Structure 1
Amino acid sequence: MRFLCLFMACLSLSWVGHALSPSSFFSTTDKSRLQGVFESALKAGMAEKEDFPLAVLGLTLLGQTVADAKGVCQKMQTAFTGNSLNRLYLISQAGQDLKCGLKAAADVSQTLKSALTSSDSSVANLFYASLTLKALGEKLDAAALVSALQAGLKKDDSVANIGFAFQVASVLEGKAAQALFDRVEDVVVQADEIDGKMLQFEGGVSTTNIILSGIYKMADKFGKAPGISKMQASKFANYFLSRKSVQTCKGGYHLVDALTTLSRNKYHIPVAITLGEQSTVVSETSPKVQVRISNVMGQTLGAMSVKVDSAMRQTDGHTILSKTKMAAVSGQEGVFEVDMMSAKPGRGFYELTVTATPNKADARLAGNEGAVLLVKALGSVEVTQAEIGIVDADQGTAAKLNPVAHPSKSAKVLEADHHHKVVFKFALTDKVSKEKIRAHQVFVRLAHVQTKAEIIFVAEPDSKSVYKFDLDVKSKAKEFGGKSGKYEIQLIVGDAVISNPILWSVADINLKFQEVDGGTEERSAPLTGPKPEITHLFRQPEARPPSAVSNLFTILCLLPFLVMLGLWMKLGVNISAFPFSLSALGFHLGLGSIFGLYYYFWLQLNMFTTVKYLFMVGVVTFLCGNAMLVKIAKDRKH
């Protein structure tokens, strides 16, 4: 039990040691894209649509000037009519931002006030009406409004309604809405967690923003810390940043509003610690890792001291940097760098744990300690110990091979036939550490010099990381299509963490194959070329029997019917007794139709069509036959 408790404690500390920093920020590119979305909505000029005022609000948050502000105000004043509380609210907020001085007509004012006094008003309507009246300069009855909100929440206390209530509480005077602020912690625990990295409320970006911004506004109003931890603030920031590709005015406005709230409040400022655009990979030509420190809107946070707590290779846990201070980059505020290649890292992926400490203490910062960044270190490799030669296929002793130096090509043209084997040995060595390594992709390619036909083999390393390619000419003849001639031997080496992939022409070789099954059919030219066209061969129709057989079969099929007619004539069938009633005619016609249907099924109809018609004809035949039998039975009684 003690061991279990100790294990859980260590696990908790490990999570604490790796802060959940935002993995990105709202970049200049993101701002330009959303600005284009907002400006397009304004150019459309449809002020009665919600996108129009939302575009004004979005541009204002981005710090952009609204073109032709006077004309925009006139359009919104014209659209400031009707009884749609949502539209009236959005126009009033946009008008307030542009200082349009909107005036409400008598019917609009009555609609808004009725929404506040009606006992049937929803929390959403109370929110729209109260904030619209507030924007118009009307004074709100705080006590009555809080009472109406609490009554509405008793009917429907969804997180969306609670968010609306928080927004209303943040603009009311006095302490009447204190009870709503006390519900913050209960609401925050209802947020959905995604992958342990993000928090959101049901309803998406807009609902999550309404709740979150309402919490921070109430915290400012009542002078109390919001019931949100630094970790939760970082998770909310991660959620909004994951949605920064929104394409609508509504989503764009709520996204920018939320990120602005998380960048300017008095309680939590999530810190985005991100890699520079060219710093995800380091190599000999690009040895430095650059890190950017900012808030989620991409704004700098003042003077910082940044250090790399550790740089650990993922594969084996090898640490190359520890407690290393990063230097500020001249001319780029908030950007810091460290020369990672000076520590001579081996090839691989490294986790950099970074901590940013402000020179002037700021308790609001969240996620600035232990941020983990992934950097790929590339290494140069060289081919060493390369040997190539021809040996007898049945040779049991170790072969004597000729050395060949990379990147030179062997001057000697090799000769081999079906009695020989081609042996090629080599090692891949890290240029810095001089250690033998294994690459992810190592191939030996043989290409016919004239036809360019090629065949590729995989080279496998042994326990000492020495690669060996062994080609038995006789056993591989079929793979070459028996095509003798001059081939070029090439070595291909590639890996995600190798900075200098290798394509080395090692030597030329004359191969002489025996005849193989299939003749000397040439292999297709390079594997990447077009393939031969596939020609479909459909099944040939089966031959029909001779006409004599067909005629005989037809006569045999008709013979029972002919026998029946002959027996009727011999016995003397009483045709005059045939009942010429509607049911009798229907039955016999139906029966004949069924036999005719079977005939057509044999000739051309499929099973499904036959069953469909058989069902219709069979129902009529059954009903007529039943009626006919009943009539015959009655006639016999009389």
Structure 2
Amino acid sequence: MLTAMIVLEEAYEGLRTFEVLGIEKKPDVKDHTCKSVVDTLSSVSSNSRDLYHALRVNGILKCRISKEDLTGIVLRFKGAVKDAASLLDYYHSIGGLLLVKDQSSEVDVHLENADGILRSIKALSQSDGRWRYSSNNPESSTYAAGLAFETISGVISLAASAVDENLIGTLKKDIVKLFDSIEKYDDGSYYFDDKHIDASGHQGPLSATSAVVRGLTAFASTSESLNIPEDKILGLARFFLGIGVPGNSKDLFYQIDTLSHLENNRVSVPLILSLPATVLSLTTKDKLKVKVSTVLGSTAPPLSVKLMQVFSSGSRDASVLKQELHFDPKEAVHTLDALPEGVDIGEYVFAFEIVLSDPEHKRKFATGGRTKVPVHVTGVVKVENAKVAVLEGDIVESEKKLDLPGKNDLALSANHLQKLHVSFLLTTPFGKPFKPHQALLKLRHESGVEHIFVVGNSGTHFEITLDFLSLVEKFYYLSGQYDIELTVGDAVMENSFLQPLGSIELDLPKAPEKSTQPPPQAVNPYLRYGPKPEIAHIFRVPEKLPPQEVSFAFLGLVLVPFLAFLVGLLRLGVNLKNFPTSAIPATFAILFHGGIAAVLILYVFFWLKLDLFTTLKTLGVIGIFLMFVGHRTLSHLASASAKLKSA
């Protein structure tokens, strides 16, 4: 049953996520899941938690549940409410009754002793707005507070008679106390963190904040509006919108489900101001566009957007504008046709303000005052008066103009008593001085040793002078050709460049004996792991063999002893008269001679292919076999010989 409960809980989270996002459910998923729902609801062993999760799934899939089953489930829930010993017992049983109420109007789910149930739940609250899971557990939890508010709203909805208003007022104060412990990020996002650790583990900011929002919106739906600052409601929305796509399905459910509760609630519906593009180009004359919608992208009520201030990055000074943007009903965006005067390329912070057209909407929607959005304005930077010169003291020996950015191919020469001077001007499209993030001059020796220098500036003028006399040690006294490379770049500079300028031939003095040696250069990995030169194999020249006739002659000489052996056998009168004639002795005699033949064949294989160890192992096995069959054969011959002598 535990496995079924977990499956149904995960099924609800997935189905709820699909429902909010507008993704249709597949029929095979419905059939399979509905079977689990029906089995769980009809099982007598299902507890309140199992029934609660099954009813949540049924609320989405609309499975076929009979009135009799729902009536029995309601009785079990009401019994669980009476016997509840923890907050989770109340949460599942009250939540289950509320689900039955939403799914069937024919079953009586009202609670007679609503005030008593509320006081029992209220007894678990703490002075800081957090709640305990049970009276036996002294630890308080923000996540439990969210569950408590959701449970209390269910009790109020199920109450058979009016609930004590003083008790509801006390509960509202608990909610306000809980919001006193809310935490804030630098971007204006608000969230709740949970310090409580129980058997289910630590509830992080995402789950804790989600529980509080669900409880808050549920409680607000059953009572008058709560006094929660709209900037905190908007900050909660920014928290869930700013976390991106969570790493697991449960966190995704927390995010999507919470946003759906913020989308439509009686506390305050947050309106989100966003920019489709935060990078604007002066070259293409991009327009500033602003979109205002709810957290799930629904159309906002009639309103206007004003650009109040523009802050330059790194400066506290701001220009006050109060310029209203033009609304385009077709695209549902607010547009500023031209950037404010004085906005040049750079990084800015634009401060917007949303003004609702209908004063009544101020009670329903949260705009959060001014919204600050970082904006990058890009453009083409003018590079003028770019020059490179070789100086002898303060006298210009040679000077050449540079085309930046463009193609340059300098061929300079200098010695250690001279200097290299590079200068250029940078201005924005509006003629203001521009200071890029990077302005670097690189000299690379033909051996691969590199030297990088930062180009200094004063206003629009950038220049650098390399005194080779003071740099000989840094250059490791390496004479030869140096490639010159200039880098000027910035995030808002559309024409950033890394430009080769050419080369300079340096004549430096010889290095002293104890001077610092150049650092070893890194090996190019493409050369290290690239193709190697082809290896030409040289095979040994075959030894010179004797003529074929000589080889055959030696073969004949080898066979002569064998032929002599056969002739000797014939001379001695060898015969098979003593070969056993009985079946069993004859069999052993044949096996004995076969074993001898096997030994001879083994010798041949040893000569051709077998190694010594394999031959010895095989010979040992054949030898044992020969001892056995040979002993039987010789015993038979000895017995036959003894009988002949006695006869």
TM-score w.r.t. length of structure 1: 0.66
Which residue, 421, 430, 435 being the options, matches 1:433?
Answer: 430
- Counterparts of 1:245-324 in structure 2, within 5 Å, are 245-276=245-276, 278-285=277-284, 287-317=286-316, 319=318, 322-324=321-323
Structure 2 letter corresponding to 1:309? M
Distance in structure 1 (CA, Å) of the matches to 2:493 and 2:523: 24
Distance in structure 1 (CA, Å) of the matches to 2:343 and 2:57: 55
Which residue, 81, 89, 92 being the options, matches 1:116?
Answer: 81
Partner of 1:200: 192
Distance in structure 2 (CA, Å) of the matches to 1:62 and 1:171: 28
Cα shift at 1:474 = 3.4
Percent of aligned pairs with the same residue? 19
CA contact (8 A) 1:321 1:343 kept: no
Partner of 2:34: 73
SS in 2 for 1:66: coil
CA contact (8 A) 2:271 2:366 kept: yes
Cα shift at 1:296 = 0.9
CA contact (8 A) 2:147 2:211 kept: no
Which residue, 342, 345, 348 being the options, matches 2:346?
Answer: 348
Which residue, 4, 8, 17 being the options, matches 1:58?
Answer: 17
SS in 2 for 1:474: helix
Structure 2 letter corresponding to 1:150? R
Cα shift at 1:293 = 0.8
Partner of 1:24: none
Structure 1 letter corresponding to 2:90? L
Structure 2 letter corresponding to 1:439? P
Distance in structure 2 (CA, Å) of the matches to 1:64 and 1:409: 55
CA contact (8 A) 1:169 1:180 kept: no
Q: Relative to structure 2, which stretch is displaced further, 282-291 or 313-322?
A: 313-322
Structure 1 letter corresponding to 2:383? V
Distance in structure 2 (CA, Å) of the matches to 1:532 and 1:523: 19
Distance in structure 1 (CA, Å) of the matches to 2:74 and 2:526: 75
Cα shift at 1:88 = 1.3
Question: Which structure ranks higher in relative contact order (CA pairs < 8 Å, sequence separation ≥ 6)?
Answer: 1
Cα shift at 1:416 = 0.9
Distance in structure 2 (CA, Å) of the matches to 1:316 and 1:272: 26
Distance in structure 2 (CA, Å) of the matches to 1:143 and 1:303: 45
Structure 2 letter corresponding to 1:381? V
Partner of 2:421: 423
CA RMSD in angstroms, aligned pairs only: 3.6
The change in CA–CA distance for 1:248 and 1:504 in structure 2 (over 3 A counts) is closer
Residue by residue over 1:296-343, the C-alpha shift from the partner in whole angstroms, topping out at 9 and shown as x without a partner, is: 11212144322212222133356567223323457422x223245574
Partner of 1:325: 324
Distance in structure 1 (CA, Å) of the matches to 2:434 and 2:206: 49
The answer as to 2:222 corresponding to 1:221 is yes
Cα shift at 1:383 = 2.8
Distance in structure 2 (CA, Å) of the matches to 1:286 and 1:528: 47
CA contact (8 A) 2:220 2:265 kept: no
The change in CA–CA distance for 1:440 and 1:215 in structure 2 (over 3 A counts) is closer
The change in CA–CA distance for 1:426 and 1:128 in structure 2 (over 3 A counts) is same
CA contact (8 A) 1:112 1:133 kept: yes
- Counterparts of 1:333-372 in structure 2, within 5 Å, are 333=332, 335-339=333-337, 341=339, 343=341, 345-361=343-359, 362-363=361-362, 364-367=364-367, 369-372=369-372
CA contact (8 A) 2:426 2:434 kept: yes
SS in 2 for 1:142: coil
- Counterparts of 1:105-254 in structure 2, within 5 Å, are 111-118=76-83, 120-136=84-100, 137=104, 138-155=107-124, 158=131, 159-160=145-146, 162-173=148-159, 174-176=161-163, 178-182=165-169, 183-191=171-179, 192-195=181-184, 197=188, 198-200=190-192, 202=194, 203=203, 204-222=205-223, 224-243=224-243, 245-254=245-254
Cα shift at 1:146 = 3.1
Cα shift at 1:78 = 1.3
CA contact (8 A) 1:45 1:52 kept: no
The answer as to 2:365 corresponding to 1:404 is no
Structure 2 letter corresponding to 1:168? G
Cα shift at 1:235 = 2.5
SS in 1 for 2:335: strand
Structure 2 letter corresponding to 1:501? S
CA contact (8 A) 1:287 1:342 kept: no
CA contact (8 A) 1:54 1:90 kept: no
Distance in structure 2 (CA, Å) of the matches to 1:178 and 1:58: 36
Distance in structure 2 (CA, Å) of the matches to 1:88 and 1:400: 93
Unaligned 5+ residue runs, structure 1?
1-43, 534-638
Structure 1 letter corresponding to 2:38? Q
Residue by residue over 1:69-94, the C-alpha shift from the partner in whole angstroms, topping out at 9 and shown as x without a partner, is: 34432221113333432221121122
Q: Relative to structure 2, which stretch is displaced further, 295-304 or 450-459?
A: 450-459
Distance in structure 1 (CA, Å) of the matches to 2:348 and 2:237: 25
CA contact (8 A) 1:59 1:66 kept: yes
CA contact (8 A) 1:387 1:401 kept: no
Structure 2 letter corresponding to 1:63? G
CA contact (8 A) 1:274 1:291 kept: yes
Distance in structure 2 (CA, Å) of the matches to 1:491 and 1:288: 34
SS in 1 for 2:470: coil
Cα shift at 1:267 = 4.1
Residue by residue over 1:18-72, the C-alpha shift from the partner in whole angstroms, topping out at 9 and shown as x without a partner, is: xxxxxxxxxxxxxxxxxxxxxxxxxx99874421233233333333332223443
Which residue, 480, 502, 511 being the options, matches 2:506?
Answer: 511
SS in 2 for 1:503: strand
SS in 2 for 1:436: coil
CA contact (8 A) 1:55 1:253 kept: yes
Cα shift at 1:417 = 1.3
Structure 1 letter corresponding to 2:344? G
Structure 1 letter corresponding to 2:214? S
CA contact (8 A) 1:185 1:227 kept: no
Distance in structure 1 (CA, Å) of the matches to 2:412 and 2:420: 9
Structure 1 letter corresponding to 2:454? V
CA contact (8 A) 1:83 1:111 kept: no
SS in 2 for 1:437: coil
Structure 1 letter corresponding to 2:453? F
The change in CA–CA distance for 1:142 and 1:445 in structure 2 (over 3 A counts) is same
CA contact (8 A) 1:429 1:436 kept: yes
Cα shift at 1:457 = 1.8
Partner of 2:629: none
Which residue, 84, 88, 94 being the options, matches 2:57?
Answer: 94
Q: Relative to structure 2, which stretch is displaced further, 490-499 or 164-173?
A: 164-173
Distance in structure 1 (CA, Å) of the matches to 2:409 and 2:87: 87
Residue by residue over 1:334-388, the C-alpha shift from the partner in whole angstroms, topping out at 9 and shown as x without a partner, is: x223245574523322111112334444222212542111101224323333333
When Rg is computed on C-alpha atoms for both structures, the one with the higher figure is 2
Partner of 2:590: none
Distance in structure 2 (CA, Å) of the matches to 1:234 and 1:256: 16
Which residue, 474, 482, 497 being the options, matches 1:479?
Answer: 474
SS in 1 for 2:471: coil
Unaligned 5+ residue runs, structure 2?
132-144, 195-202, 529-647
Structure 1 letter corresponding to 2:367? G
Distance in structure 1 (CA, Å) of the matches to 2:523 and 2:344: 34
Cα shift at 1:454 = 3.2
